[in-house]
Homo-oligomer: A and B are copies of this chain.
């Protein structure tokens, strides 16, 4: 039987409970269940930003570019530890949208004879827009990703590992293997995955992936995204936006374009250092705790949430099997939008709505308490039962 007492006991026994103290939390009574849209603020980020602004920018000025220049790769290596990639396989840069655009083009250059892109009709909007936009401009076909899809003529499938509504985890290994057998590439979107569950690109056969850092990785609002390209493909990275941060001898200004032979081929313009610093601190915290521990906490949070959902008789589309769900849960209700607004305005619960009928609750392993889960769902159920 679920109860607030049980939630309190789970909080007391939580081996990661102490990490909440590493975040800036001005209002400890606020029930924040939207860490999957915007993670909280690590205290280390506040300190580091101050140091970077006052010492590196104001103090050392242009000299700081000596070490800022390589930050997309340095932070990329930290990011790699979250998704199981090797050193040099990830760059942290730009936005998920831009990185998807590049990723699709990288895949197309690797499969020049194929004229079909695949994406699910209910995939996250920006992923669909990118795919459809490229298909439109290049005269390619978009095939809806459905269970029995024929991949034999598909260049690349763009697919989220975790569904942004239900949190369902797809079978990455099986699907990658299926695609590989058909000669298709898969560009995986790990936006709701990285920092939420354990993931190992190499064990799963993943060659291309992108994702954001501002959700479970607590990288800050609009923190730069990342691109992973398996090392075996680095020399073949071709993407359409040629910029000076991909250039091998960047400051020999007179040269023709001759990019690096590594992940820096995806870089374009000057990295957004302040946002990148915040991304680094967020990622570094998850790196320090370790994804095994974080994933275990995430599973415990969602397992408890599913119990509470049943306790209050709520309806969820999130999988029952803990191996098949990420770190958010979806409550279905026709008045989802009003409920979320009411929770925020009157009940100190910040949740998220995903049209048409989903109340989405993000359970962020490093900051969400079991009591937050109880309180949030209890208040939601009171609103529903009116």
Q: Residues on A close to B: CB < 8 A?
A: 23-27, 30, 32, 34, 37-38, 40-41, 45-46, 49-50, 53-54, 56-59, 61-65, 68, 94-98, 101, 122, 124-126, 128-130, 132-134, 137, 212, 214, 220-225, 240-247, 250-257, 268-276, 278, 344, 350, 352, 354-356
Given A34-B61, A53-B41: A241 touches B97 (CB 8 Å cut-off)? yes
Rounded to whole Å, the gap between the CB of A113 and the closest CB of chain B is: 17
Judge whether B96 and A270 touch: CB under 8 Å.
yes
Minimal Cβ-Cβ distance residue in B for A351: B62
Chain B residues with CB under 8 A of A124: 253
Q: How far is the CA of A87 from the CA of B23 in the complex (A)?
A: 39
One of B63, B122, B221, B272 near A254 (C-beta < 8 A): B122
Using A221-B57, A221-B68 as known contacts, say yes or no to A244 and B134 having CB atoms under 8 A apart.
no
Q: A125 to chain B: closest CB distance in Å?
A: 5
| Chain B residues within an 8 Å CB radius of A68 | 221-222
A274 to chain B, nearest CB (A): 5
Residues of B within 8 A of A214 (CB): 270
Choose among B30, B274, B344 the residue that contacts A221 (Cβ–Cβ < 8 A): B274
Complex Cα–Cα for A244 and B222 (A): 13
> Does the CB pair A222–B274 fall under 8 Å?
yes
How many Å lie between the Cα of A251 and that of B252 in the bound state?
45
A63-B344, A221-B274, A355-B253 known; A243 vs B129 contact (CB < 8 Å): yes
In-complex Cβ contact of A65 among B25, B134, B221, B246 (8 A):
B221
* A133 near B222: Cβ-Cβ < 8 Å: no
A128 to chain B, nearest CB (A): 7
Q: Are B49 and A53 in contact, with the CB atoms below 8 A? A: yes
Q: Decide if A253 touches B125 in the complex (CB within 8 Å).
A: yes
A128 to B58 CA separation, bound complex (whole angstroms): 31
Q: A221–B64 contact, CB under 8 A?
A: yes
Q: How far is the CA of A336 from the CA of B80 in the complex (A)?
A: 40
Bound-state Cα–Cα, A95 to B246, Å: 14
Q: Is the CB of A38 within 8 A of B25?
A: no
A356 to B249, CA, bound (A): 13
Which residues from B are CB-within-8-Å of A63?
344, 350
B46 touches A54 (CB 8 A): yes
The one of B38, B50, B225 in contact with A62, judged by C-beta atoms closer than 8 angstroms, is B38
Q: Which residues of B contact A25 (CB under 8 A)?
A: 58
A187 and B9 CA atoms in complex are apart in Å by 63
Chain B residues within an 8 Å CB radius of A271: 222
CB distance B58 to A252 under 8 Å? Answer: no
**A96-B270, A98-B94 given as contacts; is B62 within 8 A of A242 (CB)?**
no
Query: Please, which residues of chain B bring their CB within 8 A of the CB of A56?
Result: 221
Greatest chain B CB density within 10 A among A45, A101, A252 is at: A101
- Residues of B contacting A40 in the complex (Cβ-Cβ under 8 angstroms): 58, 61
Contact B137 A240 (CB under 8 A): yes
Which of B57, B251, B268 is in CB contact (< 8 Å) with A41? Answer: B57
Q: How far is the CA of A278 from the CA of B277 in the complex (A)?
A: 14
Separation in Å of the A64 CB from the closest CB of chain B?
7
